[in-house]
Amino acid sequence: MACVDPPFPYRIPDAGLRQPPDLLALTDLKWVMSAYVGRIDIQRLLSDSAYARRCLDEARATPSELVQRLAARVLSPLI
């Protein structure tokens, strides 16, 4: 029997993405950005492109080149 639902307690919204989101990279971004902007809601990132845009703008405003590059790579497909 095939598994229909993901193995975690909530479904990831489709949000019109061409490829599945990189959840590991999103989690990495969440933790590296937390030092600069506070908590990031991954589930909301996947379902709200305005929120993803705001997070990308906040990442670009940080002094961390790592945060800026990771956010550009991970969040651009969500916008």
> What is the pTM for the complete model shown?
0.69
Do 35 and 51 touch, CB atoms closer than 8 A? no
State the average pLDDT over residues 29-58.
89
Alpha-carbon distance 74 to 79, whole Å?
10
Find the radius of gyration of the CA atoms of the chain: 13
User: Count of CB atoms within 10 A of residue 23's CB?
Assistant: 14
pLDDT-based confidence at residue 50 (cuts at 50, 70, 90): very high
Does position 21 have pLDDT exceeding 90, yes or no? no
